[in-house]
Amino acid sequence: MPTTTATPVTPATPVTPVTDATFHDEVLASGLPVLVEFTADWCGPCRQIAPVLAELATAEAGRLKVVALDVDLNPATAAAHRVLSAPTLILFRAGEPVLTLVGARPLRRLRQDLAAQLPWIAPN
């Protein structure tokens, strides 16, 4: 009986990558609130917050969209939103920025910070 080896399946990240070209459709035209992480490969705090954002995106699927935009590869969108530090998180509702947060933070703190705009998201 031949043996078969299964190809490991890498789970898709719950954080959607966006670009200058897709930002309007994915963020500004979204029917859901969208949390955008402005990130960069060289950014240590960005790597630190990545699992926090993935956990948030999974827990809030269907109520909140979480996306990431690489500032080095997509400078037009970063400049348009005056992003000077990475990570910068901007929450958009109905295509408008309503909250800006700079820096990494644990999930509980992120939920607290978002709660004023997204009351259902507050930590217990």
Query: Which residue numbers are catalytic?
Result: 43, 46
Per residue, what are the HEC states of the chain? CCCCCCCCCCCCCCCEEECCCCHHHHHHCCCCCEEEEEECCCCHHHHHHHHHHHHHHHHCCCCCEEEEEECCCCHHHHHHCCCCCCCEEEEEECCEEEEEEECCCCHHHHHHHHCCCCHHHCCC
Please report how many Cα atoms fall inside a 13 Å half-sphere around the Cα of residue 114, on the Cβ side.
27
